[in-house]
């Protein structure tokens, strides 16, 4: 998002696919928790959790981009950490909310990162467990899973293009 034109391209694709919300990882360039994207008509908003500020390297974080229509349904959000954000929306059903958890799991290629991954999944489990029964939960993100090419029994959710 930090580079010129990226936001416009994302908004164009959201319009093409008629998306009201879109989750994204490493939302480069965002410097505050919620901001309106300038020169986008109708208005689009970004909610962000991660490292920010003028001196930030803009390499970590997760976020949600939404239309002004979705923003009207926004109840609130909780930046859990630089790898996870929870956003809540009203729905057409009374007393039922839509909760979107967006996350970006650490890789597990080194021993230090394995510890970070275990901590990440513990925080994620606590975040999921603390939801009420009146919430529709959508969990989206990159879990850095390593999968093979045998998708027997998982054809609806797994492709056959894994390595190993």
Does a cis peptide bond (omega within 30 degrees of 0) precede residue 9?
no
pLDDT digits (tens, 9 = 90+) for 44-72: 888 888 765 555 555 678 888 899 899 99
Output the CA torsion sign for 152, 153, 155, 161. negative
CA angle 41, 72, 48 (to 5 degrees): 75
Judge if pTM exceeds 0.85. no
> Pick from 152, 149, 153, 150: which is nearest to 162 by CA?
149
Q: What is the pLDDT along the chain (164 residues), one digit of tens a residue?
A: 545 567 778 888 999 999 999 988 765 555 555 555 555 566 888 888 876 555 555 567 888 889 989 999 999 999 998 889 999 999 999 999 999 999 988 876 666 677 888 899 999 999 999 898 899 999 998 887 766 777 788 777 777 776 65
The pair phi, psi for residue 138, each rounded to 5°, is -115, 120
């Amino acid at each position: 998002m930090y580079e010129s034109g990226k936001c416009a391209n994302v908004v164009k694709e959201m319009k093409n696919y008629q998306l009201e919300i879109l989750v994204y990882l490493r939302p480069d360039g965002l410097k505050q928790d919620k901001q309106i994207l300038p020169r986008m008509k109708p208005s689009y908003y970004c909610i962000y959790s991660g490292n920010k500020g003028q001196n930030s390297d803009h390499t970590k974080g997760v976020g949600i981009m939404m239309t002004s229509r979705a923003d009207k349904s926004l109840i609130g959000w909780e930046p859990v950490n630089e790898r996870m954000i929870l956003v809540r929306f009203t729905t057409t059903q009374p007393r039922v909310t839509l909760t979107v958890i967006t996350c970006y799991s650490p890789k597990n290629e080194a021993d230090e990162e394995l510890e970070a991954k275990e901590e990440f999944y513990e925080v994620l489990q606590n975040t999921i467990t603390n939801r009420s029964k009146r919430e529709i939960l959508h969990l989206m993100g990159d879990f850095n899973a390593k999968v093979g090419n045998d998708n027997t029994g998982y054809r609806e959710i797994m492709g056959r293009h894994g390595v190993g």
